[in-house]
């Protein structure tokens, strides 16, 4: 009876899914085996990249009711940071130390909030001193950063641009210049710590007015431990800078690519946490301002990326594991694929790209499984799922919802940056890549259900498959009645087809395929 009731209550959803499955099955019938296998794998690859962006949006929107319009730019940041670690590890190591020392001040936000409450003058002058701390902190960081040695490219000179370094690495003749340490490094270290602390103090001061009377005097042990670990890592990284650079340059490109994935994901987690604490948390009762501040942040990030890496598009070379082309390639089995590190593998008489159609799909499936396990099998996942249903009830149970919000926002941004570094060798790097992926992710969310994690996965896969089938039929054509020649969809129909699918789905199911009724 329960099964019949479920079928009856969801009959529209099941009929819609059946129709979609039938349409894709029909589309497959018009292609040779190798063509439809390649098309499906390419669709899954695009779908997995889209899923990594859409999943974070879904988690943040479902729990926090926040639509992060800078989410696409976080995807872009992941791509550019991953490229830097992979192609220019010397630059990454040079920047790592000041960044770690700066973040110490933000990690100590709970301590700054408690300290502010204990100083009456700061409480009384809360309208003025945070601005002074902000200006002083930013100026001090500007001066301190200049004292750190930095090996970097020059986007305005072609021979020293990211394009040239990426090409040199792909050809195996990359040469990195060494930069001698600056004589003023002690002031640089102290200035960075003090500047980051002043910025953290300013943020705490801005939030003190909105949260007056609700702040806790408790500073968790984890705050002190995290700050101490970051401080030690920042100092160690500075003093053994050349050793770390030599290590990264000496390892294989495959190992360095996995390091780039880890760094981009970790940086995304940190950036996400800082954005939630500094920008989103003071504006929970003002959703329009949330949209405006994340939209403004997206423009700022784009301009920063253009200033550092330049405006031209460029590529990220593939790691050696996915770029082999010698004897034994293309591979005819997965054993040969791993042994020869081939860039392609023969499957059903079709040539499949190892990185695009195998590795990306595998990583996407692993992330999907891990996030699902976190949501379904852990305490934090139980809190997140309960918070999506009723966040006020969760807070009434004594759970610190603010910490959960920070974790979810950080996790969502980390997924986006992971998607960026995965997409970089596949689609290249450009300053508009985040905008394109954000639009695709929003369409996928609308199709699957805005606050549904499974819906984000289903919507992203549908979007990826539909796009690739339209692209394929643009090459071979579709035999339609009353037409003498096969109809070949033009390139503009590729994005239009996903919008059309979204409109049809929402007309039939206003909350998406797996969305819940609000």
The structural domain count of the chain equals 1
Residue 267: domain span: 5-327+331-336+339-508
What SS3 state is found at 247? helix
CA distance 457 to 437: 15
Q: Which residues pair with 342 in a beta bridge?
A: 324
Is residue 129 domain-resident? yes
Is residue 518 domain-resident? no
CA distance 503 to 499: 6
Residue showing tokens 């499936």: 365
Q: 69 near 438, Cβ under 8 Å?
A: yes
Q: 278 near 106, Cβ under 8 Å?
A: yes
* Spacing of C-alpha 338 from chain mean position: 28
Burial 436-455, CB ≥16 within 10 A → b, else e = ebbebbbbbbbbbbbbbbbb
* Spacing of C-alpha 376 from chain mean position: 22
Q: Which ranges of the chain have pLDDT less than 70?
A: 1-9, 180-184, 208-218, 388-391, 480-483, 516-518
pLDDT for the residue numbered 337:
74
Nearest CA-CA partner of 415 in 54, 45, 62, 61: 54
Is residue 273 domain-resident? yes
Is residue 516 domain-resident? no
pLDDT for the residue numbered 210:
55
pLDDT, tens only, 76-111: 999 999 999 999 999 999 999 999 999 999 888 888
Alpha helices (runs of H) in 351-510, residue ranges in sequence order: 354, 360-377, 379-396, 401-427, 433-448, 453-476, 493-508
Is residue 269 domain-resident? yes
Three-state SS string over 279-290 comes to HHHHHCCCHHHH
What SS3 state is found at 404? helix
Is residue 219 domain-resident? yes
User: Could you tell me the maximum CA-CA distance found in the chain, to the nearest angstrom?
Assistant: 84
CA distance 85 to 256: 8
350 membership: H or E segment, kind and range: strand 350-353
pLDDT for the residue numbered 3:
64
CA distance 389 to 412: 18
Secondary structure (DSSP) of 122-181: HHHTTTTHHHHHHHHHHHHHHHHHTTS------TTSGGGSHHHHHHHHHHT-------PP
Q: Mean pLDDT, the chain, as a whole number?
A: 87
CA distance 404 to 381: 10
In angstroms, what CA-CA distances link 185 with 10, 90, 146, 192? Answer: 65, 18, 10, 10
Residue 66, burial from CB neighbour count under 10 angstroms (0-12, 13-18, 19+): buried
């Amino acid at each position: 009876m329960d099964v019949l009731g479920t079928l009856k209550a969801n009959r529209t959803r099941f009929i819609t899914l059946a129709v979609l499955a039938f349409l894709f099955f029909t589309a497959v019938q018009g292609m040779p085996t190798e063509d439809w296998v390649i098309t499906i794998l390419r669709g899954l690859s695009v779908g997995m990249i889209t899923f990594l962006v859409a999943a974070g949006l879904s988690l943040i929107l479902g729990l926090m009711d926040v639509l992060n319009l800078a989410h696409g730019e976080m995807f872009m940041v992941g791509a550019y940071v991953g490229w830097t670690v992979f192609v220019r590890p010397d630059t990454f190591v040079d920047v790592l130390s000041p960044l770690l020392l700066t973040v110490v001040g933000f990690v100590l936000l709970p301590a700054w909030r408690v300290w502010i409450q204990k100083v009456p003058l700061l409480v009384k002058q809360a309208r003025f001193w945070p601005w002074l701390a902000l200006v002083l902190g930013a100026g001090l960081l500007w001066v301190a950063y200049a004292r750190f040695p930095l090996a970097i490219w020059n986007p305005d000179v072609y021979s020293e641009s990211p394009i040239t370094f990426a090409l040199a690495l792909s050809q195996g003749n990359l040469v990195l210049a060494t930069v001698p340490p600056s004589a003023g490094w002690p002031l640089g270290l102290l200035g960075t710590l003090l500047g980051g602390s002043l910025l953290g103090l300013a943020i705490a001061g801005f939030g003190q007015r909105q949260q007056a009377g609700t702040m806790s005097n408790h500073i968790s042990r984890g705050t002190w431990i995290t700050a101490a670990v970051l401080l030690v890592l920042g100092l160690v990284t500075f003093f053994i800078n050349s050793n770390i650079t030599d290590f990264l340059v000496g390892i294989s490109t495959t190992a360095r690519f996995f390091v780039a994935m880890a760094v981009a994901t970790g940086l995304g987690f940190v950036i996400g946490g800082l954005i939630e604490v500094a920008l989103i948390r003071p504006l929970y009762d003002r959703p329009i301002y949330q949209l405006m501040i994340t939209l403004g942040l997206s423009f700022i990030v784009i301009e920063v990326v253009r200033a550092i890496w330049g405006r031209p598009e460029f590529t990220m070379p593939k790691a050696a594991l996915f770029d082999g082309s010698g004897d034994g390639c293309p591979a005819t089995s997965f054993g040969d694929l791993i042994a020869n590190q081939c860039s392609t593998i023969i499957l059903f008489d079709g040539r499949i790209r190892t990185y695009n159609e195998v590795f990306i799909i595998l990583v996407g499936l692993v992330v999907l499984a891990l996030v699902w396990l976190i949501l379904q099998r852990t305490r934090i996942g139980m809190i997140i799922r309960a918070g999506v249903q009723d966040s006020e009830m969760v807070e009434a149970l004594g759970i610190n919802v603010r910490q959960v919000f920070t974790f979810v926002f950080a996790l969502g941004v980390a997924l986006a940056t992971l998607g960026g570094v995965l997409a970089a060798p596949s689609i290249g790097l450009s300053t508009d890549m985040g905008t394109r992926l954000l639009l695709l992710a929003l369409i996928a969310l609308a199709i699957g259900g805005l606050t549904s994690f499974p819906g984000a996965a289903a919507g992203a896969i549908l979007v990826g498959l539909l796009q690739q089938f339209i692209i394929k039929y643009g090459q071979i054509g579709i035999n339609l009645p009353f037409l003498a020649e096969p109809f070949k969809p033009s390139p503009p129909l590729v994005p239009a087809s996903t919008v059309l699918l979204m409109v049809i789905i929402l007309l039939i199911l206003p909350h998406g395929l797996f969305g819940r009724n609000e």
